[in-house]
Amino acid sequence: MPDLLAPLRTAHPRVRISLRTGDAASALALLDQGEADFAVAALPDRIPATLLTRQITLTPLVLVQAAALIAKQVPALDEPFVLPRQGLVRTAADHWFRSLRIHPHIAAEADGHEALLTLVALGYGTGIIPDLVLQYSGVRTRLQQVPTPTHPGKLAIGVCIRRADLHRPLIAAAWAVTQPGQDNRSEHATPS
């Protein structure tokens, strides 16, 4: 987020920002419903025709455990799991479990990545999380990534706006600072 917002702040220092964090699975719905002007979220395969998105990065999904469990050498796939209640990470995790023919014991579900990582750090089980989230988490020092024979997948992360709002000066300015050409960003809009 700082890398995305810094150019906007530099170009428009007086713009007031209201930043919401939380359940990434609902970010596009909030945007589509007009409750947010701009979203940074994992991009699904199908984007509503009402939205424009620009991919800014890819992040692998990784398994994490509390550092205390790693010290005991408990295999990650033998532990209960802590998973997102919904969203693209949950879908990828479910698909990964099916591909490995695993029927995981789910110890807890969370509505946001930080809540999920907190439960993992407390020892509730193994979590599946985007690596990008892990790298910037406040509890990362209490966690350790665990190797797996295969990884659960990758997520495309992108910036999103409503097409209808592109004419608004603030939205146009925010969209302009995410122009392709930096960090291999690409613009796409796939109607659903």
**What residue spans define the domains of the chain?**
2-58+155-188, 60-153
Specify the pTM: 0.80
Third-level CATH fold of 60-153: D-Maltodextrin-Binding Protein; domain 2 (3.40.190)
- Confirm if 59 and 175 have CB atoms less than 8 A apart: no
Q: What is the DSSP letter of 147?
A: -
User: How confident is the model over 30-74, as pLDDT tens digits?
Assistant: 888 888 888 888 998 888 889 999 998 899 999 999 987 766 665
Note the pLDDT of residue 173.
Answer: 84
CB-side neighbour CA atoms (13 Å) of 71: 6
Q: Dump the DSSP string for 37-76.
A: S-EEEEPPSS--TTEEEEEEEEEEEEEEEEHHHHHTT--G
The first and second tokens of residue 151, run together, are 């990884």
- Confirm if 168 and 2 have CB atoms less than 8 A apart: no
Return the number of other C-beta atoms located less than 10 Å from residue 143's C-beta: 22
Res. 29: pLDDT tops 80: yes
The first and second tokens of residue 100, run together, are 């490995």
User: Options 3.40.640.10, 3.40.50.300, 3.40.190.10, 3.40.50.2000; which CATH number does 2-58+155-188 get?
Assistant: 3.40.190.10
User: How confident is the model over 93-128, as pLDDT tens digits?
Assistant: 999 999 999 999 999 999 888 999 999 999 999 999
Average pLDDT across the chain, whole number: 84
- pLDDT band, residue 182 (cuts 50/70/90): very low
Is there a shared CATH topology between the 2-58+155-188 domain and the 60-153 domain?
yes
Task: Give the angle 39-87-83 at the CA atoms, nearest 5°.
Answer: 125
| Phi and psi, residue 117, nearest 5° | -65, -35
